[in-house]
Amino acid sequence: MEANTRSTGRLPAAFLTPGSSSFMDFLGQHSPEMLPGRRVLPPVQGAIEAPHGTTIVATTFPGGVVLAGDRRATMGNMIAQRDIEKVFPADEYSAVGIAGTAGLAVEMVKLFQLELEHFEKVEGAQLSLEGKANRLSTMIRSNLGMAMQGLAVVPLFAGYDVDREKGRIFSYDVTGGRSEEHGFAATGSGSIFARGAMKKLYREDLTEQQATTLVIQALYDAADDDSATGGPDVARRIYPIVTVITDEGFRKLTEAESSEIARSILERRLEQPDGPRAALL
pLDDT at 226: 96
DSSP state of 153: B
Among 41, 57, 112, 53, CA closest to 81 = 53
pLDDT at 68: 98
What global pTM score does this model have?
0.84
Among 88, 98, 59, 61, CA closest to 218 = 59
281 residues of the chain, pLDDT tens digit each: 444 545 555 545 555 455 566 655 655 555 665 566 555 555 555 556 788 888 999 999 999 999 999 999 999 889 999 999 999 999 999 999 999 999 999 999 999 999 999 899 888 899 999 999 999 999 999 888 888 888 899 999 999 999 999 999 999 999 999 999 999 999 999 999 999 999 999 999 999 999 999 999 999 999 999 999 999 999 999 999 999 999 999 999 999 999 999 999 999 999 999 999 888 77
- Backbone dihedral region for residue 117 (phi beyond 0: left; psi -120 to 50: alpha; all else: beta): alpha
Among 19, 22, 42, 56, CA closest to 216 = 56
H/E element, 89:
strand 87-91
**114 contacts 96 by C-beta, under 8 angstroms:** no
pLDDT at 66: 99
Spatial separation of the C-alpha atoms in residues 187 and 168, rounded to whole Å = 15
Q: What are the chain's domains? A: 47-271 (3.60.20.10)
Q: How many CA atoms lie within 13 A of 157 on its CB side?
A: 32
Spatial separation of the C-alpha atoms in residues 239 and 63, rounded to whole Å = 24
> Annotated catalytic sites, by residue?
54
Among 240, 222, 208, 225, CA closest to 69 = 240
Among 98, 97, 49, 57, CA closest to 74 = 49
